[in-house]
């Protein structure tokens, strides 16, 4: 069912109807009591309504559900906020949800606590509703305080000037027709001020409690009993007090307005009461019954002041209060003026702004929003045809290129902001590959050409060459910085030598690699020196020994021997390959002859 305002013949009526009514004919039946024919129906709009549920009673220790689900509005509900207005302070769980809860505390008598539900729709409009919860006493209290009659209380006051008198009524009652006992402190019970400030009181002091009729004074006295105060007196209600009382001025009204520049203007009516001492403006982030925890914004002694500008207000919800200090020690405080400031939507954290690297390039993005109305949504377009969501997405760029990654943040009211990052992904630059050529075997004295032309860079970059000899007989290169330097093989008076050369190639990025090549150099092979021994004269029949052992080779090569007869009568050598062969001298006719053997 819904209640709307309809317009009939220029008259407006509130009509309750169900959701099936959509035409003038259907509405005609619902408006018969009006007395006019219905020719048209004008829907004037459903208003935002906060509904905190029905007032009810609960038992101490019970978990109490605060239910705002019946709240409604044409633009929906975007937020819920529960606060406690009065009564014994309790802890509200899930205060920013449609259903909050608290545990009813133990009480010594039935106690009323009140709660305020504030709802806000998507346009920023706000509405509130209050409910009262009666917490019923289910147990038996053990009290140590003393109840006094008014006469007994007056006698104690006269005898003890240091007696502390606490009036636990609300501020409006404290300044009502009944007034208050001179010198008394106003620590309201229902608003929780006494429960917040009792530690300021000395536990060994004599404390007298008074309220309007005696109910709250009994609760307050029992509370102080439980906190270890040893001399607490309950004198009941001020209604029975026959002696002088003081009254104070009525509560002031403070108005607060948010300006276009988001400063806050406060205004009030000029104070015309007596005993004025100063104005004080307080600010807090939650409602306060009195001063505790509030921030002093300004204090002035000019009674003609009727406005104040807070140029540096707090973001979020703040509560302002005007208090008038009087020279008799009393104070008069206004209502709490509530204002809510929402900071503009901003991107408070964004990373990276710019990054480059080799593919595959993995980027971890980070973003954080502030201001506006939460919750926020984070939408990413990475620039390579893919998207992502969330505050901290990670993305891999597989292909080289220059990309713009764009983040769009949207708050609960549709406000949007964007920010972009520049991403450069490039193919990896691999190191070049050195090739010093094939091994070579050369004679000493020969011209040798090293060959590094087989070196290459996969990226096509130009190469820088550096040849170095790292082993063997030193040789001088024609130019160690060219691909194909030459050198002359050194003379080797031995069986040979191995020369090792290292080639290092590098690209413009400084990446490099190396390779080595071995050049084997052989020495020059000179002919051996032959020595067949000295000439000999022997007799026929003698055994003749030839001696070639004095032959030698300057290269220390192993020698091979071969003896041959080149003249004279034939003889038979024992072994022509032996350095020292022998033969028998033949019989000669005529008497002498010569044999030539080589």
Q: How far is CA 375 from the centre of its chain?
A: 17
Does the pLDDT at position 449 exceed 60? yes
Nearest Cα to Cα of residue 435 among 515, 328, 510:
515
- Compare 300 and 440 and report the one with higher pLDDT: 440
Share of the chain above pLDDT 70, in %: 84
How far, in Å, CA of 509 to CA of 41, rounded? 81
| 77-to-122, 371, 415, 505, 583 alpha-carbon distances in Å | 7, 19, 17, 72, 136
Is omega for the bond preceding 360 within 30 degrees of 0, making it cis? yes
pLDDT at 43: 42
Does the pLDDT at position 152 exceed 80? yes
CB 339 within 8 A of CB 258: yes
Q: Could you give the domains of the chain?
A: 2-43 (no CATH), 56-136 (2.60.40.10), 146-236 (3.40.250.10), 254-341 (2.60.40.10), 346-426 (2.60.40.10), 432-522 (2.60.40.10), 527-597 (no CATH)
Could you read off the pLDDT of 529-542 as tens digits, one per residue?
Answer: 888 888 888 888 88
How far, in Å, CA of 326 to CA of 279, rounded? 9
Query: Among the listed ranges 116-120, 256-260, 523-527, which one has the minimum average pLDDT value?
Result: 523-527
pLDDT at 261: 85
Does the pLDDT at position 275 exceed 70? no
Is omega for the bond preceding 514 within 30 degrees of 0, making it cis? no
pLDDT at 1: 47
Q: At 229, is the pLDDT very low, low, confident or very high (cuts 50, 70, 90)?
A: very high
pTM, two decimals, is 0.33
Helix (H, G, I), strand (E, B) or coil at 140: coil
CB 73 within 8 A of CB 49: yes
Exposed, middle or buried: residue 85 (CB in 10 Å: 0-12, 13-18, 19+)? middle
CB 414 within 8 A of CB 425: no
User: Per residue in 564-598, is it b (16+ CB within 10 Å) or e — as a string?
Assistant: ebeeeeeeebeeeeeeebbbebeeeeeeeeebebe
First to last CA, the chain: 144
How far, in Å, CA of 333 to CA of 266, rounded? 14
CB 151 within 8 A of CB 241: no
Could you read off the pLDDT of 534-575 as tens digits, one per residue?
Answer: 888 888 888 989 898 888 776 666 568 899 988 888 888 899
Does the pLDDT at position 256 exceed 70? yes
Q: What is the mean pLDDT of the chain?
A: 84
pLDDT at 41: 47
CB 204 within 8 A of CB 185: no
What's the DSSP call for residue 16? Answer: E
Helix (H, G, I), strand (E, B) or coil at 7: strand
Could you read off the pLDDT of 47-68 as tens digits, one per residue?
Answer: 899 999 998 888 877 889 999 9
How far, in Å, CA of 297 to CA of 265, rounded? 13
Beta strand ranges found along 51-161 (DSSP E): 56-59, 63-67, 79-86, 99-103, 111-120, 126-136, 146-147
CB 2 within 8 A of CB 30: no
- Name the one residue in this structure whose structure tokens are 């820088």: 464
Does the pLDDT at position 271 exceed 90? no
- Name the one residue in this structure whose structure tokens are 């929906």: 76
What's the DSSP call for residue 157? Answer: H
Does the pLDDT at position 77 exceed 70? yes
Q: What is the mean pLDDT of residues 490-515?
A: 86
CB 306 within 8 A of CB 103: no
pLDDT at 12: 53
CB 166 within 8 A of CB 209: yes
How far, in Å, CA of 579 to CA of 563, rounded? 8
């Amino acid at each position: 069912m819904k209640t709307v305002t309809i317009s009939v013949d220029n008259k407006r009526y509130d009509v309750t109807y169900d959701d099936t009514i959509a035409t003038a004919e259907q509405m005609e039946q619902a408006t018969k009591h009006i007395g006019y024919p219905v020719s048209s129906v004008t829907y004037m709009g459903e208003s935002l309504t906060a509904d905190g549920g029905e007032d009810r009673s609960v038992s101490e220790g019970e978990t109490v559900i605060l239910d705002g689900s019946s709240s409604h509005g044409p633009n929906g509900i975007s937020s819920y906020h529960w606060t406690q207005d009065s009564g014994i302070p309790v802890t509200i769980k899930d205060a920013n949800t449609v259903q909050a809860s608290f545990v009813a505390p133990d009480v010594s008598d039935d106690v009323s606590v009140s709660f305020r539900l504030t709802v806000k729709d998507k346009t920023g409009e706000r509405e509130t509703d209050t409910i009262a919860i009666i917490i019923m006493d289910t147990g038996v209290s053990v009290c140590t305080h003393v109840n006094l009659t008014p006469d007994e209380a007056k006698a104690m006051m006269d005898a003890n000037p240091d007696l502390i008198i606490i009036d636990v009524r609300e501020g409006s009652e404290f300044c009502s027709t009944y007034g208050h006992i001179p010198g008394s402190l106003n620590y309201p019970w229902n608003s929780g001020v006494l429960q917040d400030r009792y530690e300021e009181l000395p536990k060994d002091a004599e404390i007298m409690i008074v309220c309007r009729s005696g109910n709250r004074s009994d609760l307050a006295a029992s509370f102080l009993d439980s906190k270890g105060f040893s001399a607490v007196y309950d004198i009941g209600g001020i209604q029975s007090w026959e002696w002088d009382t003081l009254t104070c001025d009525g509560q002031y009204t403070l108005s607060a307005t948010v300006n276009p520049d988001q400063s806050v203007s406060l205004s009030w009516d000029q104070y015309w009461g007596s005993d004025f001492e100063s104005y004080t403006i307080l600010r807090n982030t939650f409602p306060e019954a009195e001063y505790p925890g509030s921030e002093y914004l300004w204090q002035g002694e000019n009674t003609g002041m009727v406005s104040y500008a807070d140029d540096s207000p707090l973001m979020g919800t703040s509560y302002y209060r005007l208090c008038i200090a009087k020279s008799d020690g009393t104070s008069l405080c206004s209502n709490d003026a509530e204002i809510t400031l929402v900071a503009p939507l901003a991107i408070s954290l964004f990373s990276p702004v710019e990054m480059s690297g080799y593919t595959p390039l993995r980027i971890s993005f980070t973003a954080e929003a502030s201001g506006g109305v939460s919750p926020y949504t984070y939408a990413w377009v990475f620039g390579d045809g893919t998207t992502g969501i969330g505050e901290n997405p990670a993305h891999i760029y597989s292909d080289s290129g220059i990309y713009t990654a764009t983040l769009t943040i949207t708050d609960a009211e549709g406000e949007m902001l964007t920010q972009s990052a520049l991403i450069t992904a490039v193919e990896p630059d691999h190191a070049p590959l050195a090739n010093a050529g094939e091994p070579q075997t050369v004679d000493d004295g020969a011209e040798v050409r090293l060959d590094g032309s087989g070196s290459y860079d996969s990226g096509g970059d130009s190469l820088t060459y550096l040849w170095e000899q790292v082993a063997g007989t030193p040789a001088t290169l024609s130019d160690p910085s060219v691909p194909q330097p030459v050198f002359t093989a050194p003379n080797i008076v031995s069986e040979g030598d191995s020369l090792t050369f290292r080639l290092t190639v590098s690209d413009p990025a400084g990446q490099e690699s190396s390779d080595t090549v071995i050049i084997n150099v052989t020495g020059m092979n000179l002919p051996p020196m032959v020595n067949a021994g000295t000439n000999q004269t022997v007799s026929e029949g003698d055994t003749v020994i030839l001696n070639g052992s004095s032959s030698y080779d300057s290269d220390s090569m192993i020698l091979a021997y071969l003896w041959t007869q080149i003249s004279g009568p034939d003889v038979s050598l024992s072994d022509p390959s032996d350095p020292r062969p022998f033969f028998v001298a033949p019989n000669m006719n005529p008497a002498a002859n010569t044999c030539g053997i080589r």
